[in-house]
Amino acid sequence: MGSIQWNYEQRSAEVDVQRALYSAELLKSRQNRPLVKPTLQDTQATPTQIELFELVGRDSYEYVEALIRRLPSLRQREHFRKLYLREYRSVVDDGSIAFSFGQKQLFQANTFIRELLEHRLGKVFSQYNFDLAWLSMSLSEKWQWALEQGRAYQDEHYRTVVGAFDDVARERETDERKKKLPFYLMTENKLSVIADHLSFLLRKIQTDFFTEQANTGKAFSDAEIQAMVVDIYRRCGLLCEKIGLSLPYWATFPFNDGDDDFVPNMKSIEIAINKSQCEKFWLKALKKAQKQMVEHLAIACGEVRKGVAPYISDKGFGEWKAQKKKNFEFLDRMILQNLDDEEEQVELLEMYKRSCSNPSVRHQEMMNCLNGIEQWAEENGHEALFLTLTAPSSFHAQHSKGGENKNWSGASPKQTQAYLNKVWQHYRALLKKRAIKFYGMRVAEPHHDGTPHWHLLVYVAKEHVDEAIALFRKKALEVDGNERGASEHRCKVERCDKKKGSATAYIVKYISKNLGGKNVAHISDEVEGLSFKDNASRVRAWASCWGIRQFQFYGVSSIGVWRELRRLAKGQCTDEVIEKVRVGADLSDYAFYLDEQGGGGATRDQWKIKLVYENTEENKYGQVNKRIVGVRNTLKDVAEWVKTRLKKWGFVPKSRHQSEESEPSNITGRSPAWTCVSNCNPKHSKGSWNDIGDYLDNYLQQNAVKVDRLKMAMGWRGIDANSFNKSHIFSLIQGGEVQLLGKDYISFDGNEVQICRKGGFVN
């Protein structure tokens, strides 16, 4: 009997045909079968849950719910359900059987939600190490913790204290820790409570430490006192680091602490300790960190991209617009008053419109400076280069044409900006090392997913052009320079061609679309259909959120000197050098001004004219700021300078009459007194809150000695007087009690502050 030859290819084709026929029959039968929608047996289900259940069925619904169940907020879970539905419906019908049965959509949506929660969001969460256990402690727990830590600091080495804190944290690291409210979902009221508790705890620790040292009766030398201040700063800094926060100056201190030649900046440490005791400082830091974390998560979730919300999430953009509205309302409510002549007043909003804070005015100033720089460069035979610097692909959350970047490292726009700035610093160092002078302007703008990139207008001497280009390519591609498309997209170099337009024309588009200004009606090249005006608004919101400086001149004289010279009037200055440059500035001739100041690429020590500053009074943190008061000729004695700020102005609220003149309204009632203190005594009246505020101001001024004595007594007890408002101070002076923490109250007998608890004194 002969052997039977089996044809595998033929048999495979027959099986495929049979499967196709079976699938077609099954699909036809399902289509003819009456549709019975499954029902979700959950009376509290949201409309989105019901929609999800009816679309994907029970098994897939329970899979999705299991993934997002660990998220503590209904709002957050609802957000991810909507993302899942959007991804499910984004799958295009390719005519396949998998699509007909919904398997292709399920696979893509399930993969999307799983990777989003476990992979992409994990990269973001790992960068924000807030201790939810500590943040979730009750008032009594934090109070007891402060007492224990304060005593421990008196005797133990700071590492022992940190170890004790670690023990507390480890005890709370259970499954319940995951159920704590995430930091990025905490309300402003919750953040305010945390800020209040943290400032109180640090103040308590510091007060106990220094009180114990003072009670020893030992006379300490200056060196010993400094060592103690550094020690308590170190301890507080380590504790804050464990919580996930950072003290001022902490970015520098830990890396050098312990080195034999390290001399800590005592003024910076003093300011940091003062700030650590302030609730407002911590609240501001917490709100900023939360805002950036929320925006970072939005980037990871794909909420920041073209077609959805370019550059910044809609939530972040809405908050920026709301804050901008508040700022304008403040400007409209205030006037500037000459402190030496109260009759001279100017509306603050009008001054804003005329200043460089106004985007339109700033746009005009930038264009004038750029035209002057270009004119000076042409007169000196220098060539213009237009450079574009982009970060490696791992910094981008989305691809340029859309779609998630699987290789995204989790970098935020702030981290990408730091990378670009580092590349720029290294590039400048190479040019300086080779004695290549350079000058121009750079613009930072975002890609559609919020990742920043830079455009630079660089002027160099013609003989250095090739070397400048080679060095730029070298530094721009130093990291991941071999990745696909790096040489094409990450470092673009154009030699500005006068036949195509001026060098300034190469960069003016990027100024307009990122700053805005008058008569700007072009369409963005980054996001299709977005006007320059709308583009500029979203970019400014993006820059505000991440603290990114959008525009910067380099290698040219200070724009501050230019502005101060334009303040001077003819005949006000007797110095011939300053007067000569002043005339050029007054005529808006920036090329002449630049030439007089040493030209493009001149260093600060080559400038003929510099700014003169005066120190302001110390603020409550001990900080001394600098304020511009004039300009000076660097060739003359430092004591000889020209005053440009002839008047001192202060902010004063508009009176009711002034407000009605600027914006008519139907509001009637008694106008508040123009002076800070009212001569009326509305103690028994039913006046407005302004009246009550005036009365409190009046009372506290009349009893200033008692107020000072009360604040001094609070300081002796380690209590921050700044955490109490005027009503609290009034009540304490009147003999009342004010709540401190939990069941603890304070009272004042005219000499000392007593801390008491319901049922008896604490100490």
- Catalytically active residues, by annotation: 506, 510
Q: Measured between alpha carbons, how far is residue 439 from residues 386, 425, 560, 600, 692 in Å?
A: 12, 14, 17, 6, 58
Q: Which residues pair with 649 in a beta bridge?
A: 338
Reduce the secondary structure of 482-535 to three states and give it as a string: CCCCHHHHCEEEEECCCCCCCHHHHHHHHHHHHHCCCCCCCECCCCCCCEHHHH
Contact 438, 601 (CB under 8 A): yes
What torsion, rounded to 10 degrees, do the Cα atoms 6, 8, 13, 15 define? 80
Segments of 339-475 assigned E as strands: 341-347, 382-389, 439-446, 452-461
Give the Cα separation of 282 and 96 in Å (integer).
57
Task: Kindly state the DSSP code that residue 141 receives in the 8-state scheme.
Answer: H
- Strand arrangement, sheet containing 737-741: 737-741, 744-748, 753-757, 760-761
Give the Cα separation of 363 and 357 in Å (integer).
10
What torsion, rounded to 10 degrees, do the Cα atoms 136, 230, 250, 188 define? 30
Task: Kindly state the DSSP code that residue 624 receives in the 8-state scheme.
Answer: -
Reduce the secondary structure of 34-53 to three states and give it as a string: CCCCCCCCCCCCCHHHHHHH
Q: Which of 475, 317, 485, 455 is nearest to 389 (CA)?
A: 455
Residues in the chain: 763
Q: Which of 607, 624, 734, 715 is nearest to 277 (CA)?
A: 715
Give the Cα separation of 501 and 612 in Å (integer).
39
Give the Cα separation of 732 and 706 in Å (integer).
10
**248: CB partners within 8 A, 6+ apart:** 268, 271, 272, 275
Give the Cα separation of 743 and 759 in Å (integer).
10
**233: CB partners within 8 A, 6+ apart:** 247, 253, 269, 272, 273
The two structure tokens encoding residue 134: 């500590």
Give the Cα separation of 496 and 104 in Å (integer).
50
Contact 467, 436 (CB under 8 A): yes
Q: Which of 165, 196, 281, 272 is nearest to 229 (CA)?
A: 272
Give the Cα separation of 50 and 61 in Å (integer).
10
- Vertex 677, ends 676 and 681: CA angle to 5°? 145
The two structure tokens encoding residue 382: 């220098």
Q: Measured between alpha carbons, how far is residue 114 from residues 99, 308, 634, 640, 699 in Å?
A: 20, 21, 64, 69, 63
Give the Cα separation of 172 and 137 in Å (integer).
10
Give the Cα separation of 552 and 369 in Å (integer).
12
Contact 178, 70 (CB under 8 A): yes
First to last CA, the chain: 111
**512: CB partners within 8 A, 6+ apart:** 363, 520, 522, 532, 536
What torsion, rounded to 10 degrees, do the Cα atoms 75, 81, 84, 90 define? -90
